[in-house]
Structure 1
Amino acid sequence: MNKNSKIYVAGSHGLVGSAIVRNLKAKGYTNILEKNHRELDLMDQLAVRSFFEAEKPAYVVLAAAKVGGIGANKAYPADFIYENMEIQNNVIKAAHDFKVTKLLFLGSSCIYPKMCPQPIKEEYLLSGYLEPTNEGYAIAKISGLKMCQFFKREYGDNFISCMPTNLYGPNDNYDLNNSHVMPALIRKFHEAVVNNEPSVEVWGSGKPLREFLYVDDMADACVFLLENYDGEEHVNVGTGKELTIGQLAEMVKKVVGFKGELKFNTEKPDGTMRKLLDVSKLEATGWKYKVELEDGVKMAYKWFQENYKN
């Protein structure tokens, strides 16, 4: 990649896309295309094709997606599968038709079977049943990953994919109805401190194990893969470390400074009980995460405090 190569980051205003733009600029890339949803609706096939025809990006990072936590995925499975597949189909096909040099597709660790051996290797994909609560989103992401593989196999397109673990950091979604567990906990504990509440509710039993990666580390891995990886198989991106949701809640509680009680609501779903990625393939290519979890939570909470009113 030349520093002046035209790079289109789809989803550049979201959690991952904005971090990728920051990383590219920090590395000296100067020709980055950013479009918000109002400027370019990625579900509009004609608009996407017109954009690619006019701009002719050399590189594409497909970080745009409809995303949400366990509650949103369970409530809106049709929306999650339809909107994500529409976005992927339009962007990947346009990238092929307008001869993009390289495309990076971002998926999610929820593509793996619910009862997967741990830690999860890339080859475990499609080896069992998915977690029902996010099946719609997972099937869409599997389809995007397979599209990239098949376009590479049939046409020789340099389309690659990576599958991140749970991400958090600046520009996360803090809507309690649709957010993931990390931003939900940060907001809940912050508001409990502000309102002097005696307790905070945590969804589920607190027993599921999860892995978390600071989003700027994820962005660094994405740019590294764009620069260094051309394989057909997707690549896991994570830390290789895990903790329980209960331990995470205690960590966020400490960072925010909440002194009250944790109440686990076992009527809410736990989701998959364990989901740890095997990141040995990525580490063998020369990349490893930098931000430890508690440091990342502190940075995420600082960003939240600065942007809470918005």
Structure 2
Amino acid sequence: MKVLLTGGRGMVGRAIQDHPRAAAHRIVAPTSAELDLTDRAAVMTFVGETAPDIIIHSAGRVGGIQANMANPAAFLTENMDMGFNVVMAAREAGVPRLLNLGSSCMYPHDARNPLREDILGKGELEPTNEGYGLAKVAVARLCAFVSHERDDLAYKTLIPCNLYGLNDKFDPKVSHLVPAIIRKLHEAKESRAETVEIWGDGTARREFMFSGDLADGIWAAVERFDALPERMNIGLGYDYSINEYYAEAARVIGWDGAFVHDLTRPTGMKQKLLDVSAQKAFGWQARTSLTDGIAQTYAHFQHLVERGTA
């Protein structure tokens, strides 16, 4: 198939292209310099001229708690503009299939865990990433609206849990939990620091999947698209506490200091665990353990440090 991939330079986009199944397809992955996804006219023209068999929309402005809290308007408008432009361009061009990547941030902050697909849109979002979550909900709904209006178009949404992996962002200003932990503990090891600070009490629980596993799930969805539900969670189905992520990363990295908790800092939702019943019925599961995933990600980070690009 001819596959149009947005966000090809990001962590997920690179994992999709690096996956062995990618070789069976022709992938068109324009950079942001080649195609500004916030420019509706440009996206319309590009999609029409490319005429893909399927679009994988993985582009977006992403970041951790600090970045989301500092720039909620940008996280809302940029992600909504990109998603709306891609979906509407696909509809205009008659692209038969579109796979939209959502986020577990789409779920209400007080919803009962594990989070089921049928509770989307039925509660307030987590305030620390509300802008991002709103945009993801809106784009997923647009995909559903288009599919319901046009029998010849099937636009579906995968909802991944939190992610980490190769080509992640390790800048503490924008990074998510796992890459932030890796950097903090690496620097603590290098400086021989005796303590490392954890925001909050560390008991909040999170589900983080290795990006290579998500890429495997995406290719399974692409190749068995007709069997895919309209919206489906994709994750591990189990989680760890923040303290456990720190402890495992410390073991992998080889730092043996002590952790201290800053109870004045926000911890976000107490738990965010996806219900993966539909994923199991679809016939897919993640395979990378937390230890192996952190080890691969840390090796990648060390390579960046050696190159001076971390």
> TM-score if structure 2 supplies the norm length?
0.95
Counterpart of 2:281, as a letter, is A
The corresponding residue for 1:152 is: 147
The corresponding residue for 1:75 is: 70
The corresponding residue for 1:19 is: 15
Q: Deviations over 1:272-305 (max 9, x none)?
A: 0011101011111111111111111111111111
CA contact 1:73–1:133 (8 Å) conserved in 2: yes
Counterpart of 1:40, as a letter, is L
The corresponding residue for 2:47 is: 52
The match for 2:83 among 77, 82, 88 is 88
The corresponding residue for 1:194 is: 190
Q: Deviations over 1:157-182 (max 9, x none)?
A: 21110100010100111110111010
Separation in structure 1 between the aligned mates of residue 34 and residue 291 of structure 2, nearest angstrom = 37
In structure 2, the CA distance between the partners of 1:101 and 1:245, relative to structure 1 (3 Å rule), is same
Aligned pairs for 1:1-310 (under 5 A) are: 5-23=1-19, 25-156=20-151, 157-230=153-226, 233-308=230-305, 309-310=308-309
Unaligned runs of 5+ residues in structure 1 are none
Separation in structure 1 between the aligned mates of residue 96 and residue 304 of structure 2, nearest angstrom = 37
In structure 2, the CA distance between the partners of 1:305 and 1:144, relative to structure 1 (3 Å rule), is same
Deviation at 1:244, TM superposition (A): 0.5
Separation in structure 2 between the aligned mates of residue 297 and residue 123 of structure 1, nearest angstrom = 32
In structure 2, the CA distance between the partners of 1:78 and 1:94, relative to structure 1 (3 Å rule), is same
Counterpart of 2:102, as a letter, is G
Separation in structure 2 between the aligned mates of residue 176 and residue 224 of structure 1, nearest angstrom = 33
Separation in structure 1 between the aligned mates of residue 139 and residue 22 of structure 2, nearest angstrom = 28
Counterpart of 1:29, as a letter, is A
Separation in structure 1 between the aligned mates of residue 23 and residue 30 of structure 2, nearest angstrom = 20
Percent identical: 39
In structure 2, the CA distance between the partners of 1:27 and 1:49, relative to structure 1 (3 Å rule), is closer
Partner SS state of residue 203, structure 2: coil
Partner SS state of residue 28, structure 1: helix
Separation in structure 1 between the aligned mates of residue 25 and residue 274 of structure 2, nearest angstrom = 33
Separation in structure 2 between the aligned mates of residue 300 and residue 15 of structure 1, nearest angstrom = 11
Deviation at 1:232, TM superposition (A): 5.5
Separation in structure 2 between the aligned mates of residue 27 and residue 49 of structure 1, nearest angstrom = 25
CA contact 1:202–1:263 (8 Å) conserved in 2: yes
Separation in structure 2 between the aligned mates of residue 39 and residue 205 of structure 1, nearest angstrom = 44
CA contact 1:185–1:202 (8 Å) conserved in 2: no
Q: Deviations over 1:202-222 (max 9, x none)?
A: 222201011111111101111
Counterpart of 1:71, as a letter, is Q
Separation in structure 2 between the aligned mates of residue 128 and residue 245 of structure 1, nearest angstrom = 25
CA contact 1:108–1:165 (8 Å) conserved in 2: yes
Separation in structure 2 between the aligned mates of residue 133 and residue 233 of structure 1, nearest angstrom = 27
CA contact 1:238–1:277 (8 Å) conserved in 2: yes
Counterpart of 1:256, as a letter, is I
Partner SS state of residue 171, structure 1: coil
In structure 2, the CA distance between the partners of 1:27 and 1:9, relative to structure 1 (3 Å rule), is closer
Q: Deviations over 1:12-41 (max 9, x none)?
A: 110111111112x54532411111111111
Query: When the two structures are aligned, how many residues end up with a matched partner?
Result: 305
